[in-house]
C-alpha cells in the first residue's frame, strides 16, 4: 500500500513538471494570438475596428519652431543673412488627427482600402501661438521665380494671368469701350491704356479676340511675344533670323499675320501694351501682396501661414500648394496582417493623387499608434533596419543604440541615420552633404531639409549664414520600439525646412550683384513629428509584454518546483521504506536466533534438574530429587 502511494506522488510530480513546461507555452501562444488581434483589424466586426477608424491608439504631435531673418535689407545689399531661432516658449504644437472612412476589406481579410482624412488642430497646451509673425524667405515667390527662370520672366507670367482675367470677364470692355476698365485698380485694359497714354493700339476684330482668348487657358505666351515680335521689327536682325522669328510668330500668335510686318505696325504696338501690362502687374502685385518693405522675396506672416497657408501669389496663378497640407485625404491600401505576422501593422502603403507612396520597407514605418508595427513582431532585435522617414518622405537606416523604457514598457532605442537620407536627389543641379531636396514632392518648390540647426550640413554651405545655434542631441530623430510586438511606442522625426536660392541661376530683382556667395540655404522653420502611444493602450500592451511573461515564469517556477519536490519526496520516501524494511528483517532474524539459543539453554537446565547424575553419590541430594523406595513399596 505504501509503495502505491509513493508511486502516485511521483506520477503527480512528473505531471506537474510537464504542466509547468506546457502551460506557459500555451499562455505564450494565447498572448501572441491576443497581440495579433490587437495589432490587426481584418473586418468591420473586429473589436478594434472603431479605434482604428478614429485613430485613437496614439497621440501624434507636429511641432513647429520658426527661424527669424534679422537683416533683410543688408541681405539685399550683399551681406550674409542672419537668423534667430525662436525660443521653445514660442514652439507651436498641433495634434495630427486621422480618420479612416469607407473601409472596404478584401474577401480573404488580408487587405483593406480606405479613404483617410487628416487634419491638424492646435493643442491647448501649445507653448506658443500659431498667430505669431515670422519674417523669413518667401518660399512661394522663390518657387515661382525658379520656375520662370528669372524674376523679370515671372512678371510676364503674371501678365498672362491678368490679361486672361480681363478678357474672360469682359473682352469688349478690354478692347473697345473700357476707358476705365482695370483689374486690381492699376492693371488696365487695352482701351484704357490707349486713352491714358495717347498711344495708337490695334483694333481687334471679334475673330482676333477669339484667337487671343483661345491662347489664355492653354499657354503662357506674353514673355515669348515680347521676345520674338520686337526682334522681327528690329533693323539689326539678320534676314535668316527674321524669317525664323516670323515663322515662329505666325504659329504662336495667329491673331496677326507677321508676313506683313513691313506695312503693319499693329503687332509692335501690341507689344507696347504688353510691356505696360507686365510693368503694371509687377508694381501692383508687389503693392497688394507684399508683406515687407523689402519686396516679395521676403514674407512676414504667421507661422501658421508659412507652414499650412497657400501663398496668395500661388493662388493668383491658380495654384494650391502649401508646404504641409492641413486638411487632406488620400487612399490607403493597407495590409492587415491577417494570417501573416510579417504584415501586421495596419499601415502598409498609401496612394495619394494616383501616386503610390510606400510607407514600409519592409515593415519599417514610423508609426506610433499602438497598432502599427515598425518591425515584424516575435522576432529577435535587429541591429539595423530600413524605416520610412515621414517628414522627408523617404527611407533611412535605423540603428540600435540601447535598451530604453517608455511609460513602463521595456523598449529598444533606434536612432535614424540621416546621413544617407540627406545627400540624394539634387534636382537643382547641386549636391550638398547633409541636405535632402524635397522639390520632387513639393510641386517643384526649392524646399530643402536637413537635421535641426543644419547639423551634418557641409560646413562650406552652413557657414554662409549666421546666427544658427550649435546642434545638440535634442535634434536627433529616433524611435523606441517594444520588442515583442515590434510596435513603436515613442518616436521623433525632426527636420529643418529651408529654401534653396541661387542668385546666379535665377536672377532676382533688387539684389546686389556683388556678393561673396550666390547660393544659400535659407532656414524657415523646424518641424518635429513626435508620436507617443496613448495611455489607454499602454495597459493592454503592458499586460501582454510585461505581465504575461511574468505569469509564465511564476507558473513555470511553481509547477516545476512543486513537481520536483513531489518527485523528490516520493523518491526519498521510497528509499526510506526500502531501507527501513531491510533493517526490520535483519532485526527479526537476529531476535529469532537469540530466541532459539535461549530456548536451548532453558531446556538444558530443566533436564539437568530432573535427571540425576548417576555418578552422584550424594544420597541426600539424590533423595531430594527422587526419593528412595521403601521395602514395603518394593515388595
DSSP code string of 586-613: HHHHHHHHHHHHHHHHHHHHHHHHHS--
pLDDT confidence of residue 22: 64
Residues 6 or more apart whose CB falls under 8 angstroms from that of 188 comprise 181, 182, 196, 280
Is the same domain home to 331 and 279? no
| 104 CB-near residues (< 8 Å, 6+ apart) | 112, 113, 114
Distance CA 591, CA 86 (A): 105
φ and ψ at 382, to 5 degrees?
-80, 155
For residue 383, the tally of other CB atoms under 10 A from its CB is 9
Looking at the structure, tell me whether residues 103 and 158 fall in a common domain.
Answer: no
pLDDT band at 17 (very low <50, low <70, confident <90, very high): low
In the numeric block, the cell 515661382 is attached to: 144
pTM: 0.77
pLDDT score at 627: 47
pLDDT confidence tier of residue 227, bands split at 50, 70 and 90: very high
Of 82, 83, 88, nearest in space to 64 by CA: 88
Residue 250 lies in a domain: yes
Given a contact cutoff of 8 angstroms between Cβ atoms, the answer to whether 296 and 142 are in contact is: no
Mean pLDDT, residues 73-78 taken together: 94
The CA distance from 134 to 320, in Å, is 21
305 and 281 both lie in a single domain:
no
Average pLDDT over every residue of 306-334: 83
In a domain, 500, yes or no: yes
Confidence class for position 462, pLDDT limits 50, 70, 90: very high
Give per-residue pLDDT as tens, 147-183: 888 999 999 999 999 999 999 999 999 999 888 999 9
Domain enclosing residue 241, as ranges: 144-296
* Band (370; pLDDT cuts 50, 70, 90): very low
Which of 55-59, 80-84, 381-385, 389-393 has the largest mean confidence?
80-84
Q: Are 403 and 286 within one domain?
A: no
Of the listed ranges 210-224, 382-396, 588-602, the least confidently predicted one is 588-602
**For the ranges 184-188, 301-305, 615-619, which has the lowest average pLDDT?**
615-619
pLDDT number for residue 68: 98
Say if residue 309 is in the same domain as residue 207.
no
Instruction: Indicate whether 630 belongs to any domain.
Output: no
Rounded mean pLDDT of 491-509?
A: 89
Q: What percent of the chain has pLDDT over 70?
A: 71
Asked whether the beta carbons of 419 and 436 are under 8 A apart, the reply is: no
Determine which of 13-22, 26-35, 364-373, 509-518 has the lowest per-residue pLDDT on average.
Answer: 364-373
Where a domain ends, among 479, 498, 533? 533
Q: How many residues does the chain have?
A: 635
| Residue with more model confidence, 633 or 600 | 600
- Whether residue 79 contacts residue 127, with contact meaning beta carbons closer than 8 Å, is answered with no
Distance between CA atoms of residues 354 and 350, nearest Å: 10
Residue 574 resides in a domain: no
pLDDT of residue 625: 45
* Same domain flag for 528 and 383: yes
pLDDT given at position 362: 41
> 468 and 381, same structural domain?
yes
Instruction: Count other C-beta atoms under 10 Å from residue 239's C-beta.
Output: 7
Q: Average pLDDT in the 83-105 region? A: 92
Instruction: Provide the pLDDT for residue 83.
Output: 98
pLDDT class of 412 with cuts at 50, 70, 90: very high
Nearest one of 538, 567, 595 to 14, comparing CA atoms: 567
Residue 179 lies in a domain: yes
Residues 163 and 134 in one domain: no
Per-residue pLDDT at 404: 95
Higher-confidence residue: 417 or 622? 417
**Residue 272 confidence (pLDDT):** 96
**Is there a single domain that holds both residue 115 and residue 156?**
no
CA angle 436-437-440, nearest 5°? 135
Mean of the pLDDT values across residues 508-521? 86
pLDDT the model gives residue 97: 83
| Inter-residue contact 534 to 550 (CB < 8 Å) | no
Is 432 in the same domain as 319?
Answer: yes
The rounded percent of the chain whose pLDDT value lies above 90 is: 40
Residue 177, in any domain of the structure: yes
Q: Are residues 197 and 213 in the same domain?
A: yes
**CB of 38 within 8 A of CB of 544?**
yes
596-627: burial string, b at 16+ Cβ within 10 Å, e else: eeeeeeeeeeeeeeeeeeeeeeeeeeeeeeee
Domain count, the chain: 2
Question: pLDDT band at 357, cuts 50/70/90?
Answer: low
607, part of any domain: no
Tell me whether residue 2 is exposed, middle or buried, using C-beta atoms within 10 angstroms of its C-beta: 0 to 12, 13 to 18, 19 or more. Answer: exposed
pLDDT band at 45 (very low <50, low <70, confident <90, very high): confident
Instruction: Report yes or no on 239 lying in a domain.
Output: yes
Higher pLDDT, 542 or 629: 542
pLDDT higher at 248 or 485: 248
260 vs 425, residue with greater confidence:
260
Whether pLDDT at 394 is above 80: no
pLDDT of 540 over the 60 cut: yes
Could you say which of 249, 275, 296 is where a domain stops?
A: 296
Whether 360 has a pLDDT exceeding 50, the answer reads no
Same-domain status, 284 and 417: no
pLDDT confidence of residue 200? 93
Q: What pairs with residue 120 in β-bridges?
A: 96
Q: pLDDT band for position 547 (50/70/90)?
A: low
Q: Which of 263, 296, 329 is the last residue of a domain?
A: 296
Judge contact between 433 and 458, C-beta under 8 A.
Answer: yes
Q: Which of 143, 119, 136 is nearest to 321 (CA)?
A: 143
Nearest to 256 by CA among 237, 246, 168, 173: 246
Amino acid at each position: 500500500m505504501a509503495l502505491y502511494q509513493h508511486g502516485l506522488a511521483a506520477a503527480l510530480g512528473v505531471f506537474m513538471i510537464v504542466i509547468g513546461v506546457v502551460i506557459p507555452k500555451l499562455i505564450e501562444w494565447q498572448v501572441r494570438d491576443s497581440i495579433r488581434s490587437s495589432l490587426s483589424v481584418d473586418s468591420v466586426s473586429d473589436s478594434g475596428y472603431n479605434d482604428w477608424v478614429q485613430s485613437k491608439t496614439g497621440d501624434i504631435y507636429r511641432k513647429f519652431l520658426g527661424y527669424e531673418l534679422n537683416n533683410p535689407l543688408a541681405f539685399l545689399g550683399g551681406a550674409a543673412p542672419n537668423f534667430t531661432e525662436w525660443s521653445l516658449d514660442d514652439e507651436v504644437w498641433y495634434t495630427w488627427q486621422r480618420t479612416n472612412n469607407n473601409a472596404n476589406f478584401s474577401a480573404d481579410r488580408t487587405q483593406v482600402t480606405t479613404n483617410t482624412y487628416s487634419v491638424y488642430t492646435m493643442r491647448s497646451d501649445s507653448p506658443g501661438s500659431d498667430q505669431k509673425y515670422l519674417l523669413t524667405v518667401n518660399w512661394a515667390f522663390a518657387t515661382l521665380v525658379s520656375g520662370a527662370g528669372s524674376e523679370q520672366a515671372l512678371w510676364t507670367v503674371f501678365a498672362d494671368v491678368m490679361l486672361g482675367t480681363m478678357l474672360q470677364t469682359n473682352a469688349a470692355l478690354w478692347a473697345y469701350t473700357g476707358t476705365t476698365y482695370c483689374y486690381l485698380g492699376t492693371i488696365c485694359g487695352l482701351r484704357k491704356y490707349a486713352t491714358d497714354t495717347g498711344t495708337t493700339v490695334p483694333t481687334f476684330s471679334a475673330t482676333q479676340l477669339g484667337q487671343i482668348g483661345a491662347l489664355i487657358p492653354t499657354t503662357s505666351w506674353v514673355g515669348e511675344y515680347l521676345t520674338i515680335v520686337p526682334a522681327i521689327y528690329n533693323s539689326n536682325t539678320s534676314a535668316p533670323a527674321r524669317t525664323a522669328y516670323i515663322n515662329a510668330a505666325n504659329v504662336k500668335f495667329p491673331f496677326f499675320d507677321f508676313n506683313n510686318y513691313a506695312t503693319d505696325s499693329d503687332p509692335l504696338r501690341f507689344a507696347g501694351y504688353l510691356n505696360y501690362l507686365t510693368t503694371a502687374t509687377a508694381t501692383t502685385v508687389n503693392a497688394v501682396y507684399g508683406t515687407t518693405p523689402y519686396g516679395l522675396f521676403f514674407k512676414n506672416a504667421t507661422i501658421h501661414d508659412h507652414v499650412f497657408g497657400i501663398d496668395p501669389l500661388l493662388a493668383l496663378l491658380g495654384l494650391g500648394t502649401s508646404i504641409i497640407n492641413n486638411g487632406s485625404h488620400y487612399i490607403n491600401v493597407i495590409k492587415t496582417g491577417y494570417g501573416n505576422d510579417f504584415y501586421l501593422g495596419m499601415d502598409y502603403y498609401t496612394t495619394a493623387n494616383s501616386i503610390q507612396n510606400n510607407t514600409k520597407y519592409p515593415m519599417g514605418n514610423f508609426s506610433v499608434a499602438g497598432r502599427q508595427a515598425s518591425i515584424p513582431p516575435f522576432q529577435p532585435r535587429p541591429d539595423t533596419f530600413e524605416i520610412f522617414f515621414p517628414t522627408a518622405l523617404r527611407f533611412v537606416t535605423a540603428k540600435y543604440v540601447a535598451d530604453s523604457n517608455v511609460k513602463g514598457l521595456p523598449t529598444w532605442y533606434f536612432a535614424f541615420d540621416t546621413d544617407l537620407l540627406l545627400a540624394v536627389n539634387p534636382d537643382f543641379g547641386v549636391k550638398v552633404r547633409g541636405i535632402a531636396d524635397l522639390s520632387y514632392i513639393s510641386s517643384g518648390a526649392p524646399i530643402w531639409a536637413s537635421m535641426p540647426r543644419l547639423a551634418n550640413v557641409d560646413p562650406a554651405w552652413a557657414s554662409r549664414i549666421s546666427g544658427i545655434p550649435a546642434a545638440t542631441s535634442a535634434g536627433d530623430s529616433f524611435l523606441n520600439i517594444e520588442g515583442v510586438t515590434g510596435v513603436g511606442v515613442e518616436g521623433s522625426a525632426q527636420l529643418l525646412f529651408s529654401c534653396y536660392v541661387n542668385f546666379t541661376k535665377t536672377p532676382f530683382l533688387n539684389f546686389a550683384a556683388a556678393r561673396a556667395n550666390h547660393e544659400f540655404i535659407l532656414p524657415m522653420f523646424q518641424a518635429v513629428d513626435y508620436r507617443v502611444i496613448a495611455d489607454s493602450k499602454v495597459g493592454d500592451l503592458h499586460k501582454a509584454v510585461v505581465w504575461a511573461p511574468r505569469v509564465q515564469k511564476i507558473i513555470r517556477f511553481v509547477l516545476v518546483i512543486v513537481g520536483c519536490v513531489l518527485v523528490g519526496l516520493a523518491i526519498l520516501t521510497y528509499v526510506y521504506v526500502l531501507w527501513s524494511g531491510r533493517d526490520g528483517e535483519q532485526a527479526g532474524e537476529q531476535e529469532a536466533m537469540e530466541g532459539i539459543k535461549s530456548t536451548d539453554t532453558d531446556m538444558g537446565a530443566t533436564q539437568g534438574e530432573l535427571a540425576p547424575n548417576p555418578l552422584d553419590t550424594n544420597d541426600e541430594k539424590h533423595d531430594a530429587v527422587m526419593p528412595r523406595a521403601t521395602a514395603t513399596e518394593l515388595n
